[in-house]
Structure 1
Amino acid sequence: MNRLLARGSVLAAAVLAIPGIIAVSPASAVETCTTTGNAKPIFLPGTRPDTIVSVPVCLETLSGDKARGKILFHWELINDGQSDMASKRFNSFQVITRLESREPGGSDTVVKSATCDFTDILNSNVPDDPRVPIGCQSPSAALEPGKQWSGDATAVYDIAGDGLGPITWKLAGSPSLNR
């Protein structure tokens, strides 16, 4: 079996094994998150280990009638036995997470946002534990009545050595909450 075909088979199996959501929140917080569509294998050039990234996007409601946008960042390196685990894999990998609101019939408006940088984590030799997500959240805001609220996010990453520059990955947003 050639190396590319073997890599694709391992990645397909690994993507299916990534849990949709792993969330640990304070007792007063409630999360509603995407469950599909935000996982992808990223094929890296040369002998770098391919990487699987999964980024559920959530709306987290907090006490005091507040909410924030949140992501849960999961990753896994695929070592096929031929990979250079010490190699640089990404020039950059950032996720912008947003809390958005919408008037009925209107379009989304960004209320709060935050950018988290996962470059160093993805370039580390071995992930701490790919089953435990790293959270990234926007600041919280008061929920205004009469609006729909959701969490949304975009990942922007640049693979080292592929010559393509930054790639934008629009993630599927959380389910909406009506207030």
Structure 2
Amino acid sequence: MRRTIAAALGAVAALVISLAGASAAYAYPVDHCAADQSKQFALPNKTDVIATVMICIQTDSDGTVRSRFNMHWRYNGPPLGANYKFDRWDATIRTERRQPPSTTDSIVNSATCSFMDDFNDGYIDYNLECYTGWVVRSNAYYYSGDATVVFDIDGDGKGSSTWNLTGSPLV
């Protein structure tokens, strides 16, 4: 009986050590982010919404990069009016690169995420993210993340508008 318990404890200890070694070997991506950017959206006959966005370029230990769009939104007061706030709310995140000494960026990867349903889903604050795919990094270039948001406020009669965001630092 003691041998069985000792063998079981030895197997558990070996598993714990192997899992600890495996998790220590993985390095999580590193974020290089622009300062938070906020915008208040004036909603007709509803409580205004404030969106705060962070744009990052992520680097990974395997020599790849990708861009990350992170947004949190909240009400600017008690929620009043209908849930339906936006006819469109699309974030396009881009991984861009430039070759020094140029100051011109070229897009190497992009993704568009629609957050309209997330805003219109009810009176709940959300933390939302959108990513580009990973791109193999070349030492001949600097990389950055950049984004724009195209939105259309329901009932304001103005149609679509664009919010140009400040991109991440170069890496």
TM-score, normalised to structure 1's length? 0.76
Aligned residues: 145
Structure 2 counterpart of 1:112, one-letter code: N
Which residue number in structure 2 is paired with residue 3 of structure 1?
none
Q: Given the alignment of the two structures, is residue 99 of structure 1 paired with residue 95 of structure 2, yes or no?
A: yes
Divergent runs of 4+, >4 A: none
Which residue number in structure 1 is paired with residue 161 of structure 2?
167
Cα distance, 1:170 vs. partner?
0.5
Larger radius of gyration: 2
Which residue number in structure 2 is paired with residue 28 of structure 1?
28
Cα distance, 1:100 vs. partner?
0.4
Which residue number in structure 2 is paired with residue 123 of structure 1?
120
Structure 1 counterpart of 2:88, one-letter code: S
Cα distance, 1:27 vs. partner?
4.2
TM-score, normalised to structure 2's length? 0.80
2: CA distance between counterparts of 1:27 and 1:104? Answer: 28
Structure 2 counterpart of 1:99, one-letter code: T
Cα distance, 1:172 vs. partner?
0.6
Which residue number in structure 1 is paired with residue 73 of structure 2?
75
5+ residue gaps, structure 2, are: 1-25
Q: Given the alignment of the two structures, is residue 142 of structure 1 paired with residue 144 of structure 2, yes or no?
A: no
Structure 2 counterpart of 1:98, one-letter code: R
Q: Once superposed, what is the RMSD of the aligned Cα atoms?
A: 1.5
Q: Given the alignment of the two structures, is residue 176 of structure 1 paired with residue 170 of structure 2, yes or no?
A: yes
Deviations 1:2-57 (A, max 9, x none): xxxxxxxxxxxxxxxxxxxxxxxx84210011114x211111112x1210001100
5+ residue gaps, structure 1, are: 1-25
Deviations 1:122-155 (A, max 9, x none): 112122x44xx22100011001112110000000
Partner SS, residue 173 of structure 1 = coil
Partner SS, residue 120 of structure 1 = helix
State the percentage of identical aligned residues: 34
1: CA distance between counterparts of 2:143 and 2:119? Answer: 31
Q: 2:84 aligns with which of 70, 83, 88?
A: 88
- Decide whether the 8 Å contact of 2:98 with 2:143 is kept in 1: yes
Which residue number in structure 1 is paired with residue 39 of structure 2?
40
